[in-house]
Amino acid sequence: MDDLFNRLLNQINENFSEHDIKKIKKAYALASMAHIDQVRDSGEPYITHPVNVALIRPCCKYTCCRFSTRRCRGYTDCIS
């Protein structure tokens, strides 16, 4: 498991049961293998996109997001 996914696990650990965490790990492993040859425009593995979204979402909440621009105020605070 990579560092980015471990950050996600640390963030969600207090809100999910051990059983749910195991399911999340299995889903990540399956998605990583299914998209192993796909990369983003930046050259990063595709799987980094959904993991980054999962990291940002709890920070943003729906109240601070501007859906018309798809930008979240405070984005850098979410990922730092």
pLDDT value of position 24: 92
- Listed as ranges, residues in the chain with pLDDT below 70 are 1, 58-80
Question: In the beta sheet, which residues pair with residue 66?
Answer: 71
Report field, pTM of the whole predicted structure over 0.75: no
User: Residue 49 has which token pair?
Assistant: 């996109």
- CB-based contacts of 38, cutoff 8 Å, min separation 6: 45, 46
pLDDT value of position 48: 92
pLDDT value of position 61: 54
DSSP 8-state assignment for residue 63: T
Question: Tokens 């425009």 sit at which residue?
Answer: 41
